[in-house]
Structure 1
């Protein structure tokens, strides 16, 4: 291929791409990581010759050399191939993925970004089609925040009518994605709530049809798994008298027609009715109806399959009705039954709101000692990395949990993590395959950085020499080492000579 390559056409003008997209920008961010994703975003304009194939999509990226990239579906998600030195899922794969999605960076300071492009970008940024872990949720929240900044800028610049459908769709996409997302830090839930607040602002400035808005809000609440929280007062002006009347009618019709035994629906409607009462000026301390079950009664009739969902509704109902003790009792029961990082985070959120966290935290930490991985993660979320590291060392944990705390520990105590990294690398290389070798290289690069920070680079070079010698028959592994610059340093050559 010559150096005289055609400049890229926009993906919208490239024929044959309809129906080939099986991934979103969230998937790209998670697969690549934030640094590689940022580099790939800068290369979108260098993508040329995008073409679908029977098993994926191929394109050429005009970088320091023309790289032919392939993206294909996998289960779950997708995979990428690129011949560049960075490895398979590199910045060139990101650039091609973004080009296929038609996703270009949005300038929130522009007078009026192209709304069609923003709608296309919305699904790419906010639709997580595969499960997202804790680290991925942080990345997702960052991307959602950037998009919502653009929506907010539209409203501020007097374009509420254009921003309104974007904000509404953002609420729907984030709420859908949250169902399978590990949002222990609560950052994605916060983004969902922010999107709803922006939608309320847009509706106040550019009035929609009141009854239609009422129907959407009612369905959002009725089918919600606990997020976002609808504050009717934020929508009161946009709803108007006709919208509020329609909303009340929908609530009462649903209450009358509710199915016997459907605790989830009953609890949801009770919460909605309480919010309506407050909007109408009823005393804030007015209790919810007496048929709201106690925590013990609720746990006695709820099956294990749907208790987590229903518990969210009931906690909100207790808080709405001023029943703080019942809310905390249910949260404590959920953590005892399911000692996980997520349940710990939910208890913390509720207890903090009630000023009871300092009292309950020691008990909650003790409960999680039976689940070391969750304990380490919970302490990280608490902003207590010292205790998280001590727990990882004392109780043991999986390699994933150890890496999460080690990447924090290395900032102030790099020498502490060196033995653990060496152990993980040896453990990793008990397996074979290119993916495993790249995982080992990634760990080695982190070990090298920690060794440099602790002034023990010579030990690192000796370790690399030992690993290379132990696995000298794995040519693919040594090839990955060489690509990453993990050859024999001076110390390593000396160690090799001695061996």
Structure 2
């Protein structure tokens, strides 16, 4: 999640693209997912995008169609995707593609969105374009040819485009041997490519793939399919020679696979031969560009191709020892290839067989449940979802998709109470504000605050002593001076209390949140949140928390953090002056100067502040 400020709820979908920018999307996704999302957008994989009450819903065509939703909740950007990579809450490549589609289209999406490329926007906005176009149109042919040939000598991609058109004019296809030589030269650096060199190396590879895209756009799909397969094998070989700490080879593998699919969709190649090549690519490659290729290429392969794919992997599949734990790379690749085939056939029984060749993981069971649902076998779908949820545990981070699937099926069967109970069990197993908010969304008629508070206090006092249930401010109303203590023995209690105070703040009970923290303790981060909330109503409380935080920072004896402590002291000085009690700051300053007079860097910062 990321804080984006308070927005009105009347036009959430219109405001998403005003808030999002490429930097934010890149920060949320990380380099690998961002670049893969860009590729998905440029390949026009964002389909069926439409405004919703909360934000935007879209379908993204990946290994299978995935449902993505982006929406605003108060001052927070939220997202969800039905793909496995997003089960842990990650901002996956599908979320990236949808988010970028909002930035690159001039209208709100209603149906398939058509992205506007940045180059198109910048060209139309460039005031020098009319001048340049007029000049070029007036050039004589010889001068124009001279300029183009000079540029082509330095720009091999332009040279290839011109050569392609020249060869087409003569009825000659692309020079495949020349292309293979170039691909081999790009991937075979002849030495190890270090971390500091890999970015430049990847840019050269990207430029070559861009040229292959030009070739495909020119209608040479069969040739591009061959070249993409060759390039992918070279990329796989390069794994031992390239420092891939940042995942560049994964991005390259995905780009080549996406281009290969585009080329195959454009051509009329023999589906049986294609199936055999895909089976070999998937089961022998370390890179995952052709992961579950049968389901990705199902429309291209057709019945005959899917049959040939199964036959191609069947001999190796049958040789797998049933006792094999499935963690070896060879077994794993065969397993995923067979799963992809079963998904392409839309056969839930075949999918169970593919999974059962190893121990079926709980996280796989929601995929099986969804397959049974598509086949109209709802009872089996519910049973598989129950098994998956019981295997992962309600509090597990990757149980979300399974829980949501099962809750939806239970609601469809009229078992609303059982559906809501799934989310209560999740809160019991893993209390958090997000799980509490989901509870409220599922059933607004329940006093979840009282129920959740009782559960959290039970965690703090398992004996069942009711003294904690009647919590309130301590008799003297004092705030402990060591609120930033990192006492390990208090960590579990502080975690439960922090969740309770966070929930109380969310519900608007700021005073109860403060009283709970004072009596039961809370986390350091929550103390700071509470202190900011109390600056106006009770500056003394805020000063106590800030002073404890500043002293804790100084005690760490890390000079590069002293500025943070001094910044907190500046806040304390302002609050003390506003409250008419400047002596609160003066006493703190005196203590810091006395107890930490040996810290030269700290003394310099205090002097610079005029203290």
TM-score range, shorter chain: 0.3 to 0.5
> Larger relative contact order (C-alpha < 8 A, sep ≥ 6)?
1
Q: Output the TM-score relative to the length of structure 1.
A: 0.46
Rg larger for: 2
